[in-house]
Structure 1
């Protein structure tokens, strides 16, 4: 139904006070650092402004994980934490290229250099990028024993991006994409024989199916905290600033919580019987050499903006 001129005018004249937002996170487990961080954001915003945010966990709304950014841009939801944004904003995947970013310091430099590009890219989807957080390094969890990357050959590994898939394929493995809910059954049935994840990520839920962890950092995964551009613009300047300031604090706090949980989960998983194997000497240098040509090919295949983004990141980290 179309609004009448009078009703539209009345709506436009009504100030946004004590407004209610709907927020969504891909994570369905309330005890994860990701959900705890988003919960703190909603609680602090409610306490410090007139904005009330109702947070929904993953699978409680009819929104596919891969569609979260689009759902925010379309106004279906007002705010979200999105780990699966790469299909909607693919240029952001430059930060997730395997072997490109190898430690916390490089991540911080790369993200800072890429942030203006990310803000613009998300704006193109009708979305305001407020901030985000990062998971610990994605390592290799398997049902079979590994002593080096060569042991991936012939095995089926679940990945969460085409770039991770390229890494697995470089070492003779088969990359398979599955939703998180499919992983336990797929491991039991042998559909997959391993996953790329973090100890404080997927392995926190799937460790009983994964007796081995090869501690080789393939790449980093991160989540973006976003809001619908129109809904954000309708907030008062004071509420906008409050929301931005809280996300700017809670994003890094969530990253720190993940890093702390990573150490705790590694210890717990080892105590429960998981075999943790350090990366073999030479594997990092060898993998970096093998994957470096892929970075440039990936960028060139996607266009000049990607080439520029990759150059920005490489310059920032000196690689």
Structure 2
């Protein structure tokens, strides 16, 4: 009788544990890039299960492994196709131009100021993901600053005039057009072929992303000016799934994303840029194979020109396209934190 009672108690305990265990279907960002390999994958495969004593696990893949477009990730997340989605916010701006306000070019020239910009934008981003994508934002991690790769000789920002350039986001495209370039929309994976065939003269992406994807094989010049901002990657969970979790699980997931995914990604972002530039150009210390792209250092005049165009043309255009009170809200949050103000009518 005692043995039967013990077995019954063990069965009840195991059944209870199984009932409270959560396996989340998670779709990460680009599988071949450092953010996924160094931070997203270890987080979902190891750190989240460890933090929850195995109570929260993940079935992890990425949007490129699934064969879906990056712009569809948050749309599908809202529909409940999977539980957690992680991808570049700029991929989803076709659903709402207001989302462009998360990552404005040229405001943040280092990781610390980029973190300030993203943190100040969180109230806006939280509302957008709830209202547009039926999702709860768990965290925002950076790619390194989005810099300019050219398969053409350039010596300054003015040399981009007249060139066809792949933009990393819509606001970057507007900035490039204001500089006299032709902004071209091409997916990340199609860029090497486009550079090689002359479909575009230049392209904007993170230095590390360009290195990992072999852009140095089809481009000659690198200008490390953050014309594409920092391309933040948002981690969000389907709101219905989120509401189904216990308060304890919700608190644990949010805290662990912040400490074990967001925090380390931001801490290494600045040094990663310097290392990536060194690897691409051969100038400086590089833990991998050095390449020999020509480094084009932007001048103070380059920064001044681009910044003036951003504030006088690009941001007012964004505010008008977004409609409503988004420009005012941006001024009161991001603008206040970064000392940039959109001129509003």
The normalised TM-score by structure 1 is: 0.89
Greater relative contact order, per chain length (Cα 8 Å cut-off, separation 6+): 1
Aligned counterpart, 2:150: 142
Shift of 1:94: 1.0
* 1:25–1:80 CA contact under 8 A, matched in 2: yes
How far, CA to CA, are the matches of 2:74 and 2:183 in structure 1? 25
Aligned counterpart, 2:247: 237
* 2:31–2:64 CA contact under 8 A, matched in 1: yes
Relative to structure 1, the CA distance from residue 25 to residue 123 in structure 2 (aligned partners, 3 Å threshold; closer, same or farther) is same
How far, CA to CA, are the matches of 1:60 and 1:301 in structure 2? 33
Relative to structure 1, the CA distance from residue 54 to residue 214 in structure 2 (aligned partners, 3 Å threshold; closer, same or farther) is same
1:169 is aligned to 2:177? yes
Q: Residue 181 of structure 1: which of 154, 173, 189 is its match?
A: 189
Give the total of aligned pairs.
305
RMSD of the TM alignment (CA)? Answer: 2.0
Aligned counterpart, 1:252: 263
1:20 is aligned to 2:23? yes
Shift of 1:238: 1.8
Aligned counterpart, 1:267: 278
1:228 is aligned to 2:238? yes
Give secondary structure in 1 for the equivalent of 2:207.
coil
Aligned counterpart, 1:277: 296
Aligned counterpart, 2:318: 298
1:87 is aligned to 2:94? yes
Aligned counterpart, 1:286: 305
Aligned counterpart, 1:211: 220
* 1:21–1:53 CA contact under 8 A, matched in 2: yes
* 2:164–2:182 CA contact under 8 A, matched in 1: yes
Aligned counterpart, 1:37: 39
Provide, for residues 114-152 of structure 1, a one-character-per-residue CA deviation record: whole Å limited to 9, x for no partner: 211211211112101001101222111101121111101
Give secondary structure in 2 for the equivalent of 1:22.
strand
Report which of the two has the higher share of strand.
Answer: 1
* 1:100–1:292 CA contact under 8 A, matched in 2: no
* Structure index of larger Rg: 2
* 1:98–1:164 CA contact under 8 A, matched in 2: yes
* 1:214–1:276 CA contact under 8 A, matched in 2: yes
* 1:139–1:196 CA contact under 8 A, matched in 2: yes
Give secondary structure in 1 for the equivalent of 2:222.
strand
The normalised TM-score by structure 2 is: 0.82
